[in-house]
Amino acid sequence: MQRRLSFIDKMIANADQALRTLVPSAANATQSSPAENQHSGELDEQQRLHIAGLMRINHTGEVCAQALYQGQALTAKLPHIRQEMELAAEEEIDHLVWCEQRINELGGRASLLNPLFYAASFAIGATAGFVGDKWSLGFVAATEDQVCKHLQEHLEQLPEDDDKTRAILERMLKDEEMHGIRALEAGGQQFSPATKKVMTVASKLMTKTAYRV
């Protein structure tokens, strides 16, 4: 019989997850990066810096995803919803590691503001889970929709011969789309266009900040 975790146990587990998310090279992927064995053409300095900035945005997005899912799992009402959030967080770890690896290859760094983004996202996720599982799942679907839009925009900005970055983003796009579908199928509420517009504004603020800092 599986032991039921106390609130303190859950908080310790969340602290451990936060450290693995925020400390460089602390997380381990379960799958090899799609960039392995892919070709990357010669990039000039401006291209390298721009792509590193795009991947920094995506890495920060994965940091936020980890925090959101952990916060939602902490306050989810139903066990199967909690398990869904924890599974999604595990799948997103691969994305986190792949982005970090590509940033390092490009000579870049992760955003200095990731701890703040993590804390804010965890609070949002915990609040969403507290409000209700249906709303929480809807928030996941709406968030994944925003992520997919960013990934599509980034793919359009890549040099044609940067197959390494393209392979990572295309795989992430496929996975994020599936996460959004699964959230709605699990009973998530469709958000109104007005709510999604507010989320878009907040998302753009995050991406512009992460690109530079």
| Binding site feature residues | 62, 92, 95, 144, 176, 179
Nearest Cα neighbor of 172 from 147, 190, 204, 194 is 147
Contact yes or no for 198/114 (Cβ under 8 A): no
Nearest Cα neighbor of 13 from 84, 117, 89, 94 is 89
Q: Which residues sit in the known binding site for Fe cation?
A: 62, 92, 95, 144, 176, 179
The sign of the dihedral angle between the CA atoms of 96, 160, 37, 43 is negative
Query: DSSP for 11-22?
Result: HHHHHHHHHHHH
**Look-up of token digits 């760094």:** 109
Residues 6+ apart with CB under 8 A from 49: 108
The sign of the dihedral angle between the CA atoms of 6, 60, 146, 91 is negative
